[in-house]
Amino acid sequence: MSTREPRPIDRRSFLQGAGLSLALPFLKSGAPRAFAAAPEERPRRILAIGNHLGFYPQAFFPKEAGADYVSSQTLKNIEKHRKDFTVFSNLDDGAHGGHSGVHTFLSGGIRKEESGGFPEKNISLDQVAAEHSGSTARFPSINAGLAGGTDMCWTRTGVRIPPVNNPARLFEALFVQSSKAERDLERKRLGHRGSVLDALRESAKSLHGNLNNADRDKLDQYLTSVREVERRLQMSEAWLDKPKPKPAIDPIADEERMHIEELPLFFDLLTLALQTDSTRVATFEIPMGFTTSDLDNVTSGYHGLSHHSKGEDKLEQLKVVEDYIFTQVNRLFDGLQEAKIFNDTLVVMGSGMSDGSQHSNKDLPVLLAGGGLKHQGHVVSPADKHKRVPLSNLWLSSLQWFGVERDRFGKSNGTFSQMDFS
């Protein structure tokens, strides 16, 4: 038997030989399940809401732990739903940098600058869920937000997913059927992608005999991922000719929108997207720069108000803005209940910044709602730095609730044991 070592394969040459320029993801052996539909009869959904500037801590966090806490000034706006949400204290992932650290909120504390050291880069919670959900819905995920965005959503290749910030465009995507010519053009584009994958798969097969066992396993895993991409493309094509659902609201005019008063319209659209099963994963981003002057007694912009330095006038105006945001969150919860999907939808809300005035990324404001969970009011995690619970643990448990089979996410060191996600 020959003892000759397999000749090394240059990864770059392999891809160039196939005439391609693709990034090979690092996939665990369990990756083939990543695009499987959730096993539950009633589909589970995730809606993540991120606010770049956080919330004034003294007004957000209750003083008492447990279910019998007295509602804080901010949480009074969603008091009617207190049995359907849990607020968390002392959670973060050790990120820093003020505004530049906010983007780690849903990505397990992994900054984009350090993402090269992680197999999945700085992929965000929503995109892991979207990969799991795959093409079971028309859109694997919907990313929306007010103009500006918060850099909240990231792919496994470390690429930012900008939000749709025009409600008219979101309405059109959800409810307006494309013309036959537009669908044929999209079909051709999907077909081209399929031919690229065919070429890559054939090139990979020709190398199989020249690899050692470890490399062969990695290649087999990659080919499996290629097959899954093919399946997603086929399923995407299948959606092209399926009629879109009938909207329960009137068409939306196309106009420039940067005002905070657009929150209810966006929340209505996202509720409809989840209710009609157009998607099972959605996010909404509230940036630091948008117009608040239409609110009563508010004369300054949100960014300036968040940098209040405890000035009484700015804090009073900030209270008006944050009360408005949570009034609309209360309305969102009402809508999810009326649509009978609140118990099947896990709403994740918070920020990668705790206090805009101090530019702090520690002790983040975090809230989970719905999902049919046994909510616990106010969960206070250990504040001691040696006993800190990573926020990533909570995201890992949230992903497992959604049906994703994994034992790590971001900088997690386990699941979130302080709450039952069964």
Where does 35-177+248-402 sit in CATH, by number?
A: 3.40.720
Q: How confident is the model at residue 35 (pLDDT cuts 50, 70, 90)?
A: very low
On the question of pLDDT at 325 being above 60, the answer is yes
Q: What is the pLDDT of residue 63?
A: 96
For range 170-199, the mean pLDDT:
76
pLDDT tens, position by position, 224-241 = 656 555 555 555 677 777
Note the pLDDT of residue 281: 97
The pLDDT-based confidence of 11 (bands split at 50, 70, 90) is very low
At residue 163, does pLDDT exceed 80?
Answer: yes
Torsion-angle region of residue 108: left (phi > 0), alpha (psi -120 to 50) or beta? Answer: left
Provide the whole-model pTM.
0.79
What does the block give as tokens for 121? 């880069």
Residue 18 in this model has a pLDDT that exceeds 50:
no
Mean pLDDT over the full length of the chain: 82
User: Quick one: average pLDDT of 181-198?
Assistant: 71
Q: Centre a 10 Å sphere on the Cβ of residue 320 and count the other Cβ atoms it contains.
A: 14
Weakest mean pLDDT among 84-98, 309-323, 357-371, 385-399? 309-323
pLDDT of residue 294 exceeding 80, the answer is: no
What's the pLDDT at 256? Answer: 54
